[in-house]
Structure 1
Amino acid sequence: MSAPRVLLLARAGAARDNAASALNAAGAQVAAVLDPLTVSEADLRAPAATAVMVMLDPQVEAALEAFDAFFDDPSLTVLYEEAELAAKRDGWEAARWTRHLAAKLQGHSDVLPPSPAEQGLKQELEALTLQMAKLEPEPPAILPDAGNTLAVVIIAGGVGGPDAVRQLLADLPEEFPRPILLRQPIGGGQYDRLVRQMQRATSLRVELAQLGEVPQRGVVSILPDGIDLGEVEGKPKFVTVEGEPQFPALKAADSAVLLLSGAALALVDLALTVRLRGGLAFGQAKENCFDPAASLALVARGGEARSLSVMAHQLRERWPN
């Protein structure tokens, strides 16, 4: 198998250096390294890359808007990374990142780096995750399914999650008949950038959730910190919350909860409740999943894991246009 040709788009600095090193270590061929603030679309196409890695910061994010036609190429694999986080990766985190890139670019599932007791440590970590998952916590306080609840699709991610979210949303039709709520924590709280990133990946409308608004069908509402789906005057609306959202106004019997890479373990209870009431609840399959802890916990308690493509298929099948 020939090495994938990757175009690296990044401003000069530690993030660019770390990304180039990680790509080389992952077996990729770095076709070119370009600063997106100083190039044309012709410059981007010249290396004939099969994949692009973008190191995101506010200036790069703004510059990308001029290259929508380039990024819309369906044959191009696009990977986004936060420059601030990439600049800080070293040691085990850098090694895990390298494995994750190799899995994305070369299509295998080996995303964990070696350690002093590689297999034993991996098994111990998975066993601990499963043991914790079997503990019986308090069930989430979800309202009974009634007029003050709403049927939605909840997508939860974290570390390694944005790429998975983009892939999932890209497989959903523009007329998808359910509101989609995305909880993807972002360091620094720059959720407006996440809105723009996700909008490039999907034909669905992507918005930032606003207090007091009702989620709309066919719209992806990104939940910033402190926002939940609750009841206001008998209607399901976006409300304030301390900590992570618990979605008390969720209509469990006709909703879906999808736990992607890095999803909060606290949402496993919610997923199980939805599953038991007749909704859809899946964790992301371990293959190509950067952080499967929530998915492993869901499976350990009787849930199921699915690939991203199968998740999208089941959503389309459950709620056709």
Structure 2
Amino acid sequence: MNQDTVAEAATRVALLARKGVACERLQAALKDAGADVVLVSDPSQTDAAGVRNAGAQAILIALEPAVEDALDRYDALLADPTITVIFDEADLAAQREGWDAARWSRHLAAKLNRHEQVLPPGAELEAALAAMAPPPPRYERPEHDGDISAVVVEADLHALELPRDLDVTPRVHPSSMFDPVAAEMDSFELADIPAFGELVLEGDASPTADDAPAGERFRRDLDDLQLRIADMQLEDAPPPRPAVQAGAVLVLAGIGGPDAVRQLLAELPAGFPRAVLIQQRLEGGRHDKLVRQMQRATPMPVALAEAGMALQPAHVYVLPAEFGLEAGSDGQVFRAAEGTSTGDALLAQLPAGDSAVLLLSGSDVGAVDAAMNHSQKGALVAGQSADGCFDATAPEAAVARGAQAGTPAQLAKMLASRWPS
């Protein structure tokens, strides 16, 4: 393939970044990824028309506080489904060197060319060799057509490996023991038992003088009992069971997390039937600007959590670190607490069987215990796969303990499969 063919096949990219180390390193990453950089500009110095005129097929934006307000002018362009939009944190881009920079270039190439090949050169051969390895032997259940001799022979062979000090005394459940009293009761006929309140008198059907007081006393007791039953109050009935509380998806992220969260939300359907809670650790607590960024990625409403705000399905909420949940008259509501809200406190308010916990890049490793405890109660717990994850410490710790793993797009598919819209 000649150079002209490569140039024609390269994705045309516009880089929107302020001048500085981050901009230079992102240009180098795009070059290593094989992209054709058609525009490099400060977001505040150009507009959507300038990007379109450059013929860009993809846009790479270096996010930092100084350019947040300028991004509003690009809303229509960023919502264009024909253009690939990639966000990166300017602070992270300026710090990438060596292996981290090479890994970012591979993932950048995968995003621009819409494939999932992010392994370094040579890894394909290792994966192919692993696939060619013979599978471990496994026990096959023998087939038989009425002749169980083969099963018996194999059972005898396995029996030789069993320990000899096992207590094999048969255990008899008390309910299976013979009970002569119960047996005698079973022999009674229902017809032999008089109806309740019926007096069975031998001889004359009318009570004698000696029997009258006892019969009258019985009837008085019966009448009194009927009056007491009729006078019972409704409050003696057990209270109605409360309605089942709907769960939510808790997304935990930190450094490198905003891009992963955007990818996750972009793949969730508009009618996703559960609330999505995002606890993204940010320097300086710029959660209001994070709301605007996330709203560009999803058609679901995105809001900043406020005290007393009720949790609604098919909504995305950005939670500052000090926010938690509590039960309200209309379901779960947000509450502001002193200090930082831990994973335990948040998860304690969500029904495990109807909730999920996702640990993305940079999430707090201290939340892994709470997430896995929630998993044992029925919650879906998953971590972002290491490929493409800037800080995979917490996700890898969760996966090592049994959590599922996947890219943000794959995690979104897991959620959509569990809760179809």
**TM-score surpassing 0.5?**
yes
Q: 1:203 aligns with which of 292, 295, 299?
A: 299
CA distance in 2, matches of 1:160, 1:103: 17
Secondary structure of 1:187 counterpart: coil
How far apart are residue 25 of structure 1 and its match? 3.5
Kindly provide the amino acid, as one letter, of the partner of residue 283 in structure 1. G
Is it true that 1:44 corresponds to 2:140 in the alignment?
A: no
The residue aligned with 1:194 is: 290
Unaligned runs of 5+ in 1: 112-145
Give 1:288-307 correspondences, 5 Å limit.
Answer: 288-307=388-407
Q: Which structure carries more strand by proportion?
A: 1
Unaligned runs of 5+ in 2: 1-5, 121-241
Secondary structure of 1:37 counterpart: helix
Secondary structure of 2:80 counterpart: coil
Contact 2:310 2:330 (C-alpha < 8 Å) held by counterparts: no
Deviations 1:256-299 (A, max 9, x none): 11122222222222332332222222122333333332222122
Is it true that 1:249 corresponds to 2:355 in the alignment?
A: no
Q: Sequence identity, in percent?
A: 45
Secondary structure of 2:333 counterpart: strand
The residue aligned with 1:214 is: 310
Q: Answer 1 or 2: higher relative contact order, Cα 8 Å, separation at least 6.
A: 1
CA distance in 1, matches of 2:95, 2:406: 32
CA distance in 2, matches of 1:317, 1:84: 35
The residue aligned with 1:183 is: 279
CA distance in 2, matches of 1:187, 1:103: 29
The residue aligned with 2:181 is: none
CA distance in 1, matches of 2:102, 2:254: 18
Contact 1:52 1:78 (C-alpha < 8 Å) held by counterparts: yes
1:10/1:76 CA distance change after superposition, 3 Å: same
Contact 2:104 2:388 (C-alpha < 8 Å) held by counterparts: no
Give 1:1-321 correspondences, 5 Å limit.
Answer: 2-90=9-97, 94=101, 97-106=104-113, 107=115, 108-110=117-119, 151-231=247-327, 236-239=332-335, 240=337, 242-246=339-343, 247=346, 248-321=348-421
How far apart are residue 81 of structure 1 and its match? 2.3
1:50/1:245 CA distance change after superposition, 3 Å: farther
Kindly provide the amino acid, as one letter, of the partner of residue 245 in structure 1. T
1:218/1:12 CA distance change after superposition, 3 Å: same
How far apart are residue 79 of structure 1 and its match? 1.6
Deviations 1:91-114 (A, max 9, x none): 665555445434543543248xxx
1:74/1:235 CA distance change after superposition, 3 Å: closer
Secondary structure of 1:30 counterpart: strand
Kindly provide the amino acid, as one letter, of the partner of residue 48 in structure 2. E
How far apart are residue 149 of structure 1 and its match? 6.2
CA distance in 2, matches of 1:91, 1:311: 29
CA distance in 1, matches of 2:406, 2:107: 18
Deviations 1:219-254 (A, max 9, x none): 110111222234579963323253353212111111
Deviations 1:54-97 (A, max 9, x none): 12234422222122221112232212223344345556655554
Secondary structure of 1:78 counterpart: strand
Greater C-alpha radius of gyration: 2
Contact 1:148 1:231 (C-alpha < 8 Å) held by counterparts: no
Secondary structure of 2:62 counterpart: strand
How many matched pairs?
289
Secondary structure of 2:296 counterpart: helix
**TM-score, structure 1 normalization:** 0.78
Contact 1:177 1:320 (C-alpha < 8 Å) held by counterparts: yes
1:228/1:96 CA distance change after superposition, 3 Å: farther
1:62/1:25 CA distance change after superposition, 3 Å: same
Kindly provide the amino acid, as one letter, of the partner of residue 223 in structure 1. L
Contact 1:104 1:288 (C-alpha < 8 Å) held by counterparts: no
Between 177-186 and 73-82, the greater mean CA deviation after superposition: 73-82
CA distance in 1, matches of 2:246, 2:333: 9
Kindly provide the amino acid, as one letter, of the partner of residue 181 in structure 1. L
